[in-house]
């Protein structure tokens, strides 16, 4: 449904967060970049990807990206104690965490960390994630 909306109205505002806005095209481009990095990190359909992000356009783009990669996202509260975050990570078996440059990654966390630069939104196109790549 999201990609259908991107096709229908790419220049329409998809999300507003504070003074920041993103069009459907921009949000889709950001999600594709993140999804590509997830696939490059070895994320496969059915995997869990942890999201340790404040509410933001980056969070929404990351949620869409995880779904584009065929995985499921596990939202984590940035205000949770380290022990709780480590428990969630171990319980879900995730080996990939998406966060930003300002959030501290819990010490002892196993797996890959993908840090987003949310201050400087990148819209460089790195290729769409095709359904066949998720199989």
Output the domain CATH number for residue 11: 3.40.50.980
**Domain-embedded: residue 55:** yes
Classify residue 135: in a domain, yes or no. Answer: no
Residue 118 confidence (pLDDT): 64
Note the pLDDT of residue 129. 44
8 Å CB contact between 50 and 89? yes
pLDDT at 130: 47
On whether residue 54 sits in a domain, the answer given is: yes
Long-range interactions of 121-124: CB distance < 8 A, separation 24+: 121/22, 121/26, 121/30, 121/57, 122/30, 122/33, 123/26, 123/29, 123/30, 124/33
> Is 123 inside any structural domain?
no
63: in domain:
yes
Structural domains in the chain (count): 1
| Residue 30 belongs to some domain of the structure | yes
pTM assigned to the model = 0.85
Residue 22 lies in a domain: yes
pLDDT of residue 110: 87
Quick one: pLDDT at residue 119? 60
In a domain, 6, yes or no: yes
Q: Which residues constitute the domain of residue 40?
A: 2-118
pLDDT under 70: residue ranges of the chain: 118-135
For residue 1, the model assigns a pLDDT of 85
pLDDT for res 134: 44
């Amino acid at each position: 449904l999201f990609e259908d909306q991107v096709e229908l109205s790419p220049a329409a505002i998809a999300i507003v967060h504070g003074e920041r806005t993103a069009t459907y095209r921009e949000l889709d481009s950001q999600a594709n970049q993140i999804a590509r990095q997830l696939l490059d990190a070895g994320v496969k359909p059915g995997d869990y990807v942890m999201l340790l992000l404040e509410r933001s356009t980056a969070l929404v783009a990351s949620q869409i990206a995880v779904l584009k990669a065929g995985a499921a996202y596990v939202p984590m509260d940035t205000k949770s104690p380290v022990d709780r975050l480590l428990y969630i990570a171990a319980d879900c078996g995730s080996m990939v965490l998406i966060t930003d440059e300002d959030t501290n990654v819990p010490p002892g966390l196993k797996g890959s960390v993908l840090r987003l630069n949310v201050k400087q939104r990148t819209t460089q196109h790195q290729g769409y994630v095709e359904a066949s790549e998720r199989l």
